[in-house]
Amino acid sequence: MKTYSGSRTASGCSVTVTDDDGRRALNPRHDLRNHSPDGFEWGYAGSGPAQLALALAADVLAGDDEALRVYQRLKARVVVGLSREGWTLTADELAETIRTL
């Protein structure tokens, strides 16, 4: 099962992806849209949360165009409500939420 985890470190917010291939940092997908060159954030509506929502949508979905269509709604539905202390979401949870957007 693919999971996404966010935590706060001394150097900022860290988001990792864990799946059958191991663990890696989530690609922020600045190539699609650069909302936050300083990195991810969550727990409020802003540029860092927008970058996180875009990165999550792009990783879960097969196409970049679809990710660009839904990420602002994903930010409003999920990312703004994530605990500032840390969080974990599954790819299945995200995909189901995206289907309802």
pLDDT band at 5 (very low <50, low <70, confident <90, very high): very high
Residue 101 lies in a domain: no
β-bridge partners, 6? 15, 87
The pTM assigned to this predicted structure is 0.97
List pLDDT tens digits, range 53-85: 999 999 999 899 999 999 999 999 999 999 999
Count of structural domains, the chain: 1
**Domain range for 27:** 3-94
Residue 79 lies in a domain: yes
Would you give the DSSP letter of residue 26? P
Residue with tokens 């790819």: 91
List pLDDT tens digits, range 9-50: 998 999 999 999 999 999 999 999 999 989 999 999 999 999
Residue 14 lies in a domain: yes
Give the HSE-up count for residue 68: Cα atoms under 13 Å, Cβ half-sphere.
9
Residue 27 lies in a domain: yes
Residue 40 lies in a domain: yes
Residue 80 lies in a domain: yes
